[in-house]
Structure 1
Amino acid sequence: MGGVRQRGQVAQVAAAQWGLITTAQAVEAGASRMLLSRMVTSGELERVTHGVYATPAAAADRLVAVRALWLSLDVRRTAEERLRDRCSAGVLSHATAASMHEIGDLLDAWIEVILPHRYQGRRDRIRAHRAALGPDEVTVVDGLPVTTAARTVADLVVDGHDRDHVATVMTDALRRGLTDRADVGRALDRVLGPAGPEVLAELLAASGQGA
């Protein structure tokens, strides 16, 4: 089988990021686009989304679509390189973050991310929000950068989600110890300003917890 060394390079890169590799990363590693096509034909790789491939084992990962789309935000840098500055790496947010934290029951047909700059891509399943996040607003879930539960609640409020649904997200997060009232209050104050305390009281009332 031709391209043994290149296949090894592709496997090495993929092994370090959940069994996934982008076309740009593969080319950087010395593999040609033709070789990638042959690896797909032979079953060594599976195309997950445009420009992102998975090994057969990785294709069974429940988060493979999320991981692939996250990698597609920056096709050249590896996951390890991007996570060195996770606040600017493309942080999973809003309904996607709630799903990652397993809180609430929001529909997450989009993969939502927060970026510090304008998103120039055109992928149908990515919904990008522009904002600057602080280190205390980002955590890592299953190896991916995700807004904290408190910041997730605040973002959902700003994005106009039904308050009862957001209250459920908050209640689940509080129950699981992912955040506390003070953290949620600070997150709401940060994005809403003076309206923060009033919204927190509304969410607590909607969740049946009172003020």
Structure 2
Amino acid sequence: MLTVRFPDLPTNPEEPHHAAFCQIRHLAHHADRSLCQAPGSTFGSTLGKEDDMIDKSDQADPGADDTDGQRWGQRTFSPEVVERAHEEIRRQEAERRRRLFGDRQPFAVPEDIIDFEPEAGVPVDYALNTAAATDATGGRMSHERCYELSIAAARQQGFLTRAQLARLGVDDGELDRLREAGLLTELDHGVYQHAASSVALKYGYSYAAWLALAPDRFRWERPQTATDDAVLSHESAAGLLGLGALAVPRTIFTAPAELPAPRATIIHVERLAAADVTVVEGIPVTTPFRTILDLMRGGTDHDDFGRALQEAVRRDLVDLQEVYDAMLPLAPAHSFPTAGPDFVAYFLPDLDPSGLTPRNLRAYAELTAADSVAEAQSRVAVLLAELRYPTGAQHPADDGLSRQIAAEIVGRLCR
């Protein structure tokens, strides 16, 4: 799917310049603002002037590399013309916003709607569905309202709540027609996915549940710091991160304060540390390390927990030694062995050390063969001293380095 970063030209590996000018024309056409026909358009008149638009030196070889201009099919556009095209888009967008909103704005419109999502780009499909939305409602929804619906959806991974749609002026009848036309699909109670959204259902259901926690607010109106908002956690986080195969009958969040819980939703109240939160496909979610600890604290079946932990260790999403150290205080309440070899045998009986990364291979050796690591360390320390201080001078031993080397040696021998 083509994506566009305004105000820059879109990047398409095969036809970048063709795509750029097609996008200009598509956006103009579907918003009923043709660049060639717009009153007062400076770019519209330019399109008709072949001498201004075409670099004749390139016409003899349409396939030649174009480094100084922008190519559209067999026509090459100078950088000056391209810049004028962007200026025209900005001018028309500013005029559209003034005409649409005036002094009334149904939601917080960005400073420059053309550049509303610079870090992710704007899917062309959202803009191109504007005309389809108008047709689906039998013309009852204006081009402007359909366009704003598409823009708002694009800023939220392609999702909108019923309350947000109401703020955009979409009534229940129009919503039903949009659903019948296949432009909106309900994923959660009162949360809809736009037809142009490319988010996989694995992530879509979680994102829809997150939006449903505050259905009347757009994403950009919610706290911008993840720890100040609800975060997907526990079994739901494990499912999103691909840790094990836990049954998740409800969606689980952790929030810094009490929130109304929609149906099939559980909310734990706790302020998470910034280090415990990450973002996956736009969804704030606990990190693998925090998720593993939450599973144990939440009373997850030990077999299920072991499978989740093994997957996290195998994929190097967590440091096995750090997980072990953090879990020791939980042992009395959750009845699991604390001795290193017993811990590994209990939770990770099928873990293959040959596939582990160096840090987890060292942790595996420390937990399962600490005596062998200690013995190897004494020999490694002597060797390091000889290599670093060949004169025999006495220097403090580097216990950390020798321990790591010894643990990795033992770990490799365990393979």
TM bucket by the smaller chain?
Answer: 0.7 to 0.9
In the alignment, residue 162 of structure 1 is paired with which amino acid? Answer: D
TM-score (norm: length of structure 2):
0.45
Give distance in 2, aligned partners of 1:100 and 1:8: 32
2:270 is aligned, of 115, 120, 131, to: 131
Residue of structure 1 in register with 2:289 after alignment:
150
SS in 1 for 2:285: strand
C-alpha deviations, 1:12-46, integer Å up to 9, x for none? 11111121101222222333333223322333222
Question: For the structure 1 residues 26 and 139, does the alpha-carbon distance in structure 2 shift closer, same or farther, using more than 3 Å as the test?
Answer: same
2:307 is the counterpart of 1:168: yes
- Paired residue for 1:78? 218
Instruction: Determine the structure 2 residue equivalent to 1:3.
Output: 141
Query: Which of 96, 100, 117 is the equivalent residue of 2:240?
Result: 100
Q: Is residue 23 from structure 1 mapped to residue 188 from structure 2 by the alignment?
A: no
Alignment pair present for 1:112 and 2:258: no
Out of 48-57 and 133-142, give the one that drifted further. Answer: 48-57
The CA distance in 1 between the partners of 2:269 and 2:254, in whole Å, is 6
Query: Secondary structure, in 3 states, of the residue corresponding to 1:47?
Result: strand
**Contact 2:250/2:266 (8 A) holds in 1:** yes
Output one character per residue of 1:77-111: Cα deviation in whole Å (capped at 9) or x when no partner: 32344462112322111111111111112112221
Deviation at 1:60, TM superposition (A): 7.4
Larger radius of gyration: 2
**Residue pair 2:237, 2:285 contacting (<8 A) in 1 also:** yes
Partner residue, 1:50: 189
Q: Give the unaligned 5+ runs of structure 1.
A: none
| Partner SS, residue 106 of structure 1 | coil
TM-fit CA distance, 1:72: 0.2
Q: Considering fraction of residues, name the structure with more strand.
A: 1
Conserved? CA contact 1:83–1:145, under 8 Å: no
Partners of 1:86 and 1:172 in 2: CA distance: 26
Instruction: Confirm or deny: 8 A CA contact 1:20 1:52 kept in the other structure.
Output: yes
Aligned counterpart, 2:227: 87
* Preserved contact between residue 207 and residue 282 of structure 2 (Cα < 8 Å): no
Over 3 Å counting, the alpha-carbon distance change for 1:175 and 1:200 in structure 2 is farther
Deviation at 1:181, TM superposition (A): 2.6
Question: What is the TM-score with the length of structure 1 in the denominator?
Answer: 0.84
**Number of paired residues?**
209
**After alignment, is 201-210 or 98-107 more displaced?**
201-210
Partner of 2:176: 37
